[in-house]
């Protein structure tokens, strides 16, 4: 079974749908109960068990308890997808400390709490998979207005690599993905600013913005599957070739 955070919409929902198509049971986590239930209904239509769990990743102290609830409900956990993020964008000089810290709390701090809480349960089942969502903004030559976001995601990328090294002997693989997909927010932007969106699309070598389920979710299915069993500690760019990861 899989825990997917931020699964009420967008990329998180796409990942959950793709996993469900492979028969994976899903714990659907997020802040908005109505959105979680909508996702659960879509997952159940694919023949899997899906249950909603309300969780605000900014409240990191509650995360171990949420994981305990999931394990009590499903009997264990095999896959953890840390997708939820609530951060701030803008020029560094216009950003106060609280806004800057928000991205770190909802990003690497929350992911760390989920990872630690899931570790013993994965180890007890002989292993598991952790997938953390990062961003191509980490390696962008000019990350103007994305500085706080990129910093938080780079910290999460480093955390992922460390977990891969330390938890490999427990059978746990940890990888990052840097997705670029047509989430609700990006879709609204493309509709509101079609000319800018078209120029942006032209910077993507494959020529289109990824689909949440087909392009991102299916990649996660492959990443956590047996064919990729020897890959850990890596960052997989899922952005149509837009960014370069060295």
Question: Annotated catalytic sites, by residue?
Answer: 149
Q: What is the 3-state secondary structure (H, E, C) of 65-100?
A: HHHHHHHHHHCCCCEEEECCCCCCCCCHHHCCHHHH
Tokens of 43: 């997952």
List of residues 6+ apart from 199 with CB closer than 8 A: none
Q: Long-range contact list for 218-224, CB < 8 A, 24+ apart?
A: 218/18, 219/177, 220/15, 220/18, 220/19, 220/81, 220/131, 220/177, 221/18, 221/19, 221/21, 221/22, 223/129, 223/131, 223/175, 223/177, 224/19, 224/79, 224/129, 224/131, 224/173
């Amino acid at each position: 079974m899989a825990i997917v955070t931020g699964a009420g919409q967008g990329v998180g929902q796409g990942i959950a749908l793709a996993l469900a198509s492979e028969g994976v049971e899903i714990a659907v986590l997020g802040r908005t109960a109505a959105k979680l239930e909508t996702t659960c209904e879509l997952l159940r239509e694919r023949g899997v068990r899906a249950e909603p769990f309300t969780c605000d990743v900014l409240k990191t102290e509650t995360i171990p308890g949420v994981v305990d609830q999931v394990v009590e409900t499903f009997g264990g956990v095999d896959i953890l997808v840390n997708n939820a993020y609530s951060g701030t964008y803008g020029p560094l000089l216009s950003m106060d400390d609280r806004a800057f810290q928000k991205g770190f709390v909802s990003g690497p701090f929350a992911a760390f709490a989920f990872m630690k809480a899931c570790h013993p349960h994965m180890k007890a089942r002989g292993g598991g998979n952790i997938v953390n969502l990062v961003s191509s903004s980490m390696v962008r030559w000019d990350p103007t207005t994305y500085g706080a976001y990129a910093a938080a995601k780079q910290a999460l990328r480093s955390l992922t690599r460390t977990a891969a090294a330390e938890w490999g002997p427990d059978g746990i693989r940890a990888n990052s993905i840097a997705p670029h997909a047509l989430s609700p927010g990006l879709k609204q932007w493309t509709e509101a600013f079609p000319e800018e969106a078209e120029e942006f699309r032209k910077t993507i070598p494959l020529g289109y913005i990824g689909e949440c389920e087909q392009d991102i979710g299916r990649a996660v299915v492959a990443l956590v599957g047996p064919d990729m069993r020897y890959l850990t500690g890596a960052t997989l760019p899922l952005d149509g070739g837009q960014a370069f990861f060295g």
